[in-house]
Amino acid sequence: MAKKEYKKTRAQLKKEEEAVFAKFGIGTGEKSLRALIKGQRKINGKLYRAIDLILESLKKQSKVADPALDEAQKINKGVPGPPPGCE
């Protein structure tokens, strides 16, 4: 279930960030807001990956099917969702 890790280039990250800022109508002069959004996207991405790994581990340890784990996995598959998403 864990997603394969890959590294984005600086150009890819910059392009993605600019698309997020444009979607939210954040101008180039709004440095504090841009920093906040960038930081939150990083936090969200880390949380998503952590939840994914936890669910994978719990599924491996479980000897029987667990509907709650299945539901959690289903919910987590929708994250990060459509852009702006997580970093």
Q: Domains of the chain: which residue ranges?
A: 10-77
Please report, in angstroms and rounded to a whole number, the separation of the first and last CA atoms in the chain.
18
What are the backbone dihedrals phi and psi of residue 71, each rounded to the nearest 5 degrees, phi first?
-65, -40
Per residue in 34-62, pLDDT tens? 999 889 888 888 888 899 999 999 999 98
Contact indicator for 58, 1 with CB cutoff of 8 Å: no
- CB burial readout 44-54, b (16+ within 10 A) else e: beeebeeebee
No. of H helices and E strands in the chain?
3, 0
What percent of the chain stands above pLDDT 90? 31
Q: Which two tokens stand for residue 30?
A: 């709004």
Residue 82 belongs to what H/E stretch? none
Report if pTM > 0.75. Answer: no
